[in-house]
């Protein structure tokens, strides 16, 4: 047995050395990590190659544009063939291409401060200057203008960029080819490593078993098995539970588990409540912000919120809430009433569209004001979808000069008009910040007593801030449990940064009983 152990030990040493030699010879540490690194490197190189080819096409387009501009100059028409077929210029370009390729290969192994890299860079700069001089020399014998000089300079610069991009494309393509070759060789390396490792593991298992058997044989030989003495015989345990002296005791474990489970559940509830900083009451609003709560709108069922745009289904209770809100607005702006109001919120689902709509209806139907409601969410149809309105022509149509003012204004009730958002544009913020927007507002101010903008949520972009800059005041809607205190603070800081006056806060979706409480 000792000879067999020595034989397997020797074979195990040979197998482990074979694995180590293979890993060193093929530079294999971890094939999975190596494969992952190569794939990431190839992906990065392919992205760089795509960007390089795109830039190459752009420069080719630029050089074509410069040539078209130069072709209109009589001086260039005389020497066009001389410039394009100049053998010295072609030689310089080929030299620059070779130097760019050499520099890219050198940078793959050396740092930019290495003398060899610096030498190549100096040669590249010298060749670029030679190209510029040769192009300038071609025009030296002809009368030039400042415009022609700029075209000549752009022509030479673009030619140099094209050569550099072409060299970069060659180097990237070669690097991708080499990495692809390495990736294709990995499966064969994996098979060889697996075979050698399997052989080593089998020898280790045999060595461990034989070593254990050898130790047991030596112990039995030294102690002598016949001298063993029985101290306590084995017995079958009692089936009576009262005789159990060891755990587990089921009754105690059940009670203990129940106690620990309830305690952990209570702890988790209080801990999550402690971490939750969402706004859930009007008092939370006043604790976080320095703005007054102008109105509290309780959570109501959807059937109560039903609206057919004729005011027939608006409940008297809802009317009372929004009449109180309008009264608060008038009291807090007793000096100069705002004529243009934006209704904003930090996030989606706060209820600003519902509040905008009801506030507009109450002001027009109950207070006799001429009101215009504008759906300014050009990223989605807020009011348009809520009221099932047509979105063929709206605010975006006017801002893109595709429709007139009379075409986008929809009359929904007496003294109540509405402008839908219209077709969704590709760049909403660009339209909202165009010069057409303030011109539209100035025209509408002459026709209405109150204009209400229903804006998109602040967290989807700067649309709400851009719209509010055209308004006299902003009404901030906060729904119970929808947004955290930190998020609302950040939103308010944005309004302060752009000096947008905030009239106050409307607390929406309040719990029953908080509807009449104003802070």
Instruction: Kindly report the CATH number assigned to the domain that includes residue 68.
Output: 1.10.287
169 and 287 in a single domain? The answer is no
Do 498 and 469 touch, CB atoms closer than 8 A?
yes
226 part of a folded domain: no
443 part of a folded domain: yes
* DSSP H or E run through 72: none
Where are the extended beta strands (E) located within 402-472? 409-413, 416-419, 450-454
Do 360 and 329 touch, CB atoms closer than 8 A?
no
Beta bridge partners of 296: 507
307 and 451 in a single domain? The answer is yes
How many structural domains comprise the chain? 2
Given this model, what pLDDT does residue 80 score? Answer: 53
196 and 317 in a single domain? The answer is no
* CB count in 10 Å sphere of residue 435: 8
Given this model, what pLDDT does residue 344 score? Answer: 94
82 and 182 in a single domain? The answer is yes
64 and 192 in a single domain? The answer is yes
For the chain, 519 residues long, give each residue's pLDDT as a single digit of tens: 667 767 777 777 787 777 677 666 665 555 566 777 777 787 788 888 888 888 888 888 888 887 777 777 665 555 555 556 667 777 877 787 788 778 777 777 778 888 887 888 888 888 877 877 777 776 665 545 676 667 777 877 887 888 888 888 888 888 888 888 877 776 666 656 666 677 777 777 777 887 777 777 777 666 655 455 566 666 665 555 555 555 566 777 788 888 888 888 888 887 776 666 788 888 888 888 888 999 998 887 766 555 544 444 556 667 888 888 888 888 888 767 889 999 999 888 888 888 999 899 989 888 889 999 999 998 887 676 666 666 678 899 999 989 988 888 988 788 899 998 888 888 889 999 899 999 999 999 989 999 999 999 998 888 999 999 999 999 999 998 888 888 888 898 989 999 999 999 999 988 866 544 443
Q: Which residues, in sequence order, are CB contacts of 26 under 8 Å at separation 6+?
A: 189
Distance CA 206, CA 11 (A): 11
Quick one: 50 exposed, middle or buried, by C-beta within 10 A (0-12, 13-18, 19+)?
exposed
Beta bridge partners of 478: 507
Given this model, what pLDDT does residue 454 score? Answer: 93
197 and 295 in a single domain? The answer is no
Using the 3D structure, point to which of 159, 175, 203 is the last residue of a domain.
203
Which of 126, 132, 123, 133 has its CA nearest to residue 157?
132
Do 326 and 294 touch, CB atoms closer than 8 A?
no
Strands 409-413 and 371-375 turn out to be unpaired
Strands 409-413 and 416-419 turn out to be antiparallel
237 part of a folded domain: no
Q: Which residues, in sequence order, are CB contacts of 341 under 8 Å at separation 6+?
A: 450, 451, 452, 453, 471, 472, 473, 474, 475, 503
Using only C-alpha atoms, what is the Rg of the chain? 41
Quick one: 107 exposed, middle or buried, by C-beta within 10 A (0-12, 13-18, 19+)?
middle
Which of 358, 328, 324 has its CA nearest to residue 343?
358
Distance CA 57, CA 140 (A): 30
The token pair that represents 436 in the structure block: 């057409």
26: domain range?
A: 2-203
Given this model, what pLDDT does residue 81 score? Answer: 52
Do 362 and 409 touch, CB atoms closer than 8 A?
no
3-state secondary structure of 390: coil
Given this model, what pLDDT does residue 83 score? Answer: 56
Q: Which residues, in sequence order, are CB contacts of 395 under 8 Å at separation 6+?
A: 374, 375, 376, 378, 408, 419, 420, 421, 422
Quick one: 190 exposed, middle or buried, by C-beta within 10 A (0-12, 13-18, 19+)?
middle
140 part of a folded domain: yes
Using the 3D structure, point to which of 203, 223, 248 is the last residue of a domain.
203
363 DSSP 8-state letter: I
3-state secondary structure of 193: helix
212 part of a folded domain: no
430 and 297 in a single domain? The answer is yes
60 part of a folded domain: yes
Q: Which residues, in sequence order, are CB contacts of 66 under 8 Å at separation 6+?
A: 151, 154, 155, 158
91 part of a folded domain: yes
Using the 3D structure, point to which of 170, 203, 236 is the last residue of a domain.
203
What pTM value is reported for the model? 0.48
Instruction: Kindly report the CATH number assigned to the domain that includes residue 360.
Output: 3.40.50.300
448 part of a folded domain: yes
187 and 326 in a single domain? The answer is no
Distance CA 473, CA 143 (A): 63
Given this model, what pLDDT does residue 212 score? Answer: 78
The token pair that represents 225 in the structure block: 């098995």
């Amino acid at each position: 047995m000792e000879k067999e152990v020595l034989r397997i030990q020797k074979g195990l040493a040979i197998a482990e050395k074979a694995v180590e030699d293979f890993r060193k010879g093929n530079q294999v540490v971890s094939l999975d990590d190596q494969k992952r690194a190569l794939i990431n490197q190839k992906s990065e190189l392919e992205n760089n190659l795509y960007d390089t080819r795109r830039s190459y096409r752009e420069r080719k387009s630029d050089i074509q544009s410069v040539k078209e501009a130069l072709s209109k100059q009589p001086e260039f028409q005389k020497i066009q063939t001389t410039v394009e077929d100049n053998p010295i210029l072609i030689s310089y370009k080929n030299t620059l291409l070779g130097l760019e390729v050499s520099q890219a290969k050198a940078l793959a192994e050396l740092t930019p401060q290495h003398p060899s890299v610096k030498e190549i860079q100096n040669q590249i700069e010298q060749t670029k200057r030679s190209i510029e001089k040769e192009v300038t020399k071609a025009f030296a014998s002809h009368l030039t203008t400042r415009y022609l000089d700029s075209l000549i300079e752009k022509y030479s610069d673009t030619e140099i960029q094209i050569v550099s991009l072409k060299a970069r494309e060659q180097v990237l393509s070669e690097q991708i080819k080499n990495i692809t070759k390495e990736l294709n060789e990995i499966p064969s390396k994996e098979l060889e490593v697996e075979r050698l490792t399997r052989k080593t593991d089998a020898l280790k298992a045999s060595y461990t078993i034989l070593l254990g058997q050898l130790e047991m044989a030596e112990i039995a030989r030294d102690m002598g098995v016949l001298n063993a003495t029985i101290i306590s015989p084995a017995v079958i345990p009692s089936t009576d539970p009262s005789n159990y002296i060891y755990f587990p005791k089921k009754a105690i474990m059940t009670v203990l588990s129940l106690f620990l489970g309830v305690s952990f559940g209570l702890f988790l509830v209080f801990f999550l409540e402690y971490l939750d900083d969402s706004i859930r009451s009007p008092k939370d609003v006043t604790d976080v912000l320095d703005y007054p709560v102008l109105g509290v709108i309780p959570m109501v069922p959807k059937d109560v919120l039903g609206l057919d745009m004729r005011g027939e289904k608006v409940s008297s209770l809802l009317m009372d809430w929004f009449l109180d809100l309008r009264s608060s607005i008038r009291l807090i702006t007793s000096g100069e009433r705002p004529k243009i109001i934006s209704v904003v919120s930090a996030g989606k689902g706060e209820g600003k569209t519902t509040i905008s709509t009801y506030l507009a209806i109450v002001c027009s139907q109950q207070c006799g004001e001429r009101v215009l409601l504008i759906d300014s969410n050009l990223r989605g149809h807020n009011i348009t979808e809520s009221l099932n309105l047509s979105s063929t022509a709206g605010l975006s149509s006017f801002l893109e000069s595709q429709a007139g003012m009379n075409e986008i204004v929809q009359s929904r009730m007496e003294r109540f008009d509405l402008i839908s958002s219209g077709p969704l544009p590709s760049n909403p913020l660009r339209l909202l910040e165009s010069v057409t927007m303030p011109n539209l507002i100035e025209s509408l101010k002459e026709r209405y007593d109150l204009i209400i903008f229903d804006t998109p949520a602040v967290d989807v972009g700067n649309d709400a801030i851009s719209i509010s800059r055209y308004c006299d005041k902003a009404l901030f809607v906060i729904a119970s449990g929808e947004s955290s205190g930190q998020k609302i603070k950040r939103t308010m800081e944005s309004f302060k940064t752009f000096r947008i006056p905030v009239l106050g806060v409307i607390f929406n979706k309040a719990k029953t009983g908080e509807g009449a409480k104003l802070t």
